C-alpha cells in the first residue's frame, strides 16, 4: 500500500509572502519618510546654525564699531582734559611767578625766568626749571605743581637740583643754589616732606602766592 503525501497549500504560503512583502514595503516607505524628515530636520538645523553664525558675526562687527567709536570719544575727552590740565598748570605757574620775588626779600632775588631748560653735555634737554629767581650771587629753582600732594614731586625736584649743579644754565653759574616748591593746593604731609628736603614751600591763595612759614629750626638747603 502506497503512502499518500499531503500537497502543500501554496495559496496560503503565497498569501503569507504577499503580506510579508506589503509589510516590508510599508517599513521601507516609513523608513524613507523618516529619512526624508531627518534630512529636512538636518537642513533646518544647518539653516539655524548658519543664521546663528551670521547674527554672531553681525553682533561682533557692531560691537567692534561701538568699541572703536568709544575709543575715539575717550581719546577726545582725554585730549580735552589734558589740555585743561595743562592750561590750569600754566595759569597757576603764571600767577605764582607774577610777584614771587617779593616773597624772599632777604635774598634780593629781583630777576625771574620761566621754563629754563637744562641741557647735558650732548645738548639734550634733561629737564627744565619752572621758575628761576636770581640775583648776582644767588638763584632759587622753584618747581610748580597744580597740586603738591605726592612725595615723588619732592624727590623729582631733588634730582632736578642735582642736574642744575651738574649742568648749570648760564644764569646759575657760580651762584649759590636754593630750592622751593609751590602748588595751587599743598598737602600738609607733603609740605613737611618738602621742608625736610630743605625746600621752601609756597601755596596759591586766590590770585596771590603765600609763603608758608617754615617750621622752627628750618634751614634751607644749599646746592
Please give the pLDDT value at position 24: 76
The residue among 91, 123, 139 that closes a domain is 91
Does residue 80 sit in the same domain as residue 165? no
The residue among 91, 107, 133 that closes a domain is 91
Dihedral sign of CA atoms 8, 11, 16, 21 in order: positive
Please give the pLDDT value at position 26: 74
Does residue 173 sit in the same domain as residue 139? yes
Does residue 124 sit in the same domain as residue 158? yes
82-117 residues labelled b (16+ CB within 10 A) or e (exposed): eeeeeeebeebbebbbeebbebbeebebeebeeebe
| Contact between residue 143 and residue 157 where contact means Cβ atoms under 8 Å apart | yes
Residue by residue, pLDDT tens for the chain (223 residues) are: 555 555 555 555 767 777 777 777 777 677 767 666 767 777 777 777 777 777 777 766 766 665 566 456 546 544 444 444 556 667 777 778 777 888 999 999 989 999 999 999 999 999 999 999 999 999 999 999 989 999 999 999 999 999 999 999 999 999 999 999 999 899 999 999 999 999 999 998 876 889 999 999 999 999 9
Taking the C-alpha atoms of residue 179 and residue 131, their distance in angstroms, rounded to an integer, is 10
Taking the C-alpha atoms of residue 171 and residue 131, their distance in angstroms, rounded to an integer, is 12
The DSSP code sequence of 146-213 is EEE--HHHHHHHHHHHHHHHHS--GGGTTSEEEEEEEEEEE-HHHHHHHHHTT-EEEEEETTEEEEPP
**What residue has cell string 603764571?**
94
- Tally of domains within the chain: 2
Q: CA 154, 163, 91: angle at the middle one, nearest 5?
A: 55
DSSP lists the bridge partners of residue 138 as 176
Does residue 190 sit in the same domain as residue 144? yes
| Residue 61, domain member (yes or no) | yes
Does residue 84 sit in the same domain as residue 140? no
The residue among 56, 91, 126 that closes a domain is 91
Taking the C-alpha atoms of residue 24 and residue 15, their distance in angstroms, rounded to an integer, is 14
DSSP lists the bridge partners of residue 176 as 138
Segments forming the whole domain that contains residue 57: 8-91
Amino acid at each position: 500500500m502506497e503512502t499518500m503525501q499531503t500537497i502543500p497549500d501554496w495559496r496560503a504560503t503565497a498569501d503569507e509572502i504577499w503580506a510579508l512583502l506589503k509589510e516590508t514595503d510599508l517599513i521601507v516607505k516609513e523608513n524613507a519618510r523618516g529619512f526624508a524628515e531627518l534630512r529636512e530636520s538636518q537642513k533646518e538645523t544647518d539653516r539655524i546654525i548658519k543664521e546663528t553664525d551670521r547674527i554672531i558675526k553681525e553682533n561682533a562687527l557692531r560691537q567692534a564699531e561701538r568699541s572703536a567709536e568709544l575709543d575715539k570719544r575717550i581719546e577726545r575727552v582725554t585730549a580735552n582734559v589734558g589740555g585743561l590740565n595743562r592750561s590750569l598748570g600754566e595759569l597757576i605757574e603764571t600767577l605764582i611767578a607774577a610777584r614771587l620775588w617779593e616773597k624772599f626779600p632777604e635774598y634780593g632775588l629781583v630777576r625771574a625766568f620761566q621754563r629754563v631748560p637744562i641741557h647735558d653735555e650732548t645738548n639734550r634737554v634733561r629737564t627744565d626749571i619752572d621758575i628761576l629767581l636770581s640775583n648776582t650771587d644767588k638763584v632759587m629753582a622753584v618747581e610748580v605743581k597744580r597740586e603738591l600732594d605726592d612725595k615723588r614731586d619732592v624727590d623729582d625736584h631733588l634730582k632736578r637740583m642735582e642736574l642744575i649743579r651738574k649742568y648749570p644754565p648760564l644764569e646759575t653759574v657760580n651762584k649759590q643754589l636754593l630750592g622751593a616748591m609751590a602748588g595751587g593746593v599743598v598737602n600738609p604731609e607733603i609740605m613737611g616732606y618738602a621742608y625736610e628736603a630743605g625746600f621752601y614751600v609756597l601755596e596759591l591763595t586766590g590770585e596771590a602766592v603765600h609763603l608758608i612759614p617754615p617750621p622752627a629750626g628750618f634751614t634751607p638747603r644749599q646746592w
